[in-house]
Amino acid sequence: MAYPDDLLGEDEHVVIHKHPHWKMLFWPIVVFLITVAVGAYLAALVSSQSWHTYAWIAIGVVAAIVIIWVVLGPLIRWRTTHFVITTHRVMMRFGVLTRTGIDIPMSRINSVQFRHGLLDRLVGAGTLIIESASDEPLEFDDIPNVERVHSLLYREINDDPNDDFHPGHTRSER
């Protein structure tokens, strides 16, 4: 899914657009499966009772609340969270009812780091840490293919021909 072009500036292009890694949906999926299994077991358990209809309604309501709260909430948050690198900035957009955005201009980025532990390496995710000129470092968790994203971002930062430092070139060559 491409990032909307009308939100980009002139001569700005999307380099990479990602949602958080699917690992953030692991526990909601486990809860969904457990809820369905427990609900089916309880429904079968009370099916021979005379009041089984009321029990089924209660089981269905509790299961629906759990699924909406613990499963659909994280799924919608995952789907509406965007990590975007353009030719001019790094953007993070998240939120469902209240949208929040973070923009970091490429010219303000001092350093880019990534961190991923053993589990993150197994599933192909990690944390991207961006240090800008004036703020504390920002950490973006659950970035898929974090090493590739790190490399692309580093390349975008250093490919700017207008910056003060361009390896192998002097000011007169530009």
- What averages of pLDDT result for each successive group of 10 residues across the chain (174 residues)? 68 89 94 97 93 94 95 92 91 89 89 91 93 83 93 83 46 40
Q: Which of 141, 150, 129, 146 is nearest to 24 (CA)?
A: 141
Domain of 131?
Answer: 89-160
Report yes or no on 3 lying in a domain. Answer: no
Please tell me the distance from the alpha carbon of residue 6 to that of residue 29, in angstroms, as a whole number: 35
| Residues shown for the chain | 174
Q: Which pLDDT belongs to residue 11?
A: 85
Sign of the alpha-carbon dihedral angle for 166, 168, 172, 174: negative
Domain end call among 35, 55, 77: 77
Please tell me the distance from the alpha carbon of residue 73 to that of residue 31, in angstroms, as a whole number: 12
Q: Which pLDDT belongs to residue 128?
A: 94
State whether 99 and 65 are in the same domain.
no
Report yes or no on 10 lying in a domain. Answer: no
Separation in Å, CA 37 to CA 14, 29, 32, 43, 83: 43, 12, 9, 10, 35
Q: Which pLDDT belongs to residue 12?
A: 86
Q: Which pLDDT belongs to residue 169?
A: 42
In the chain, how many domains are there?
2
3-state helix, strand, coil in the chain (%, to 5): 45, 25, 30
Token digits of residue 96: 């469902």
Q: Which of 136, 138, 118, 140 is nearest to 127 (CA)?
A: 140
Instruction: For strands 109-115 and 125-132, give the pairing.
Output: antiparallel
Q: Which pLDDT belongs to residue 144?
A: 94
Q: Which pLDDT belongs to residue 7?
A: 76
Global pTM reads: 0.76
Q: Which pLDDT belongs to residue 160?
A: 54
Q: Which pLDDT belongs to residue 97?
A: 87
Please tell me the distance from the alpha carbon of residue 144 to that of residue 81, in angstroms, as a whole number: 13
State whether 150 and 99 are in the same domain.
yes
Q: Is 65 left (phi over 0), alpha (psi -120 to 50) or beta?
A: alpha
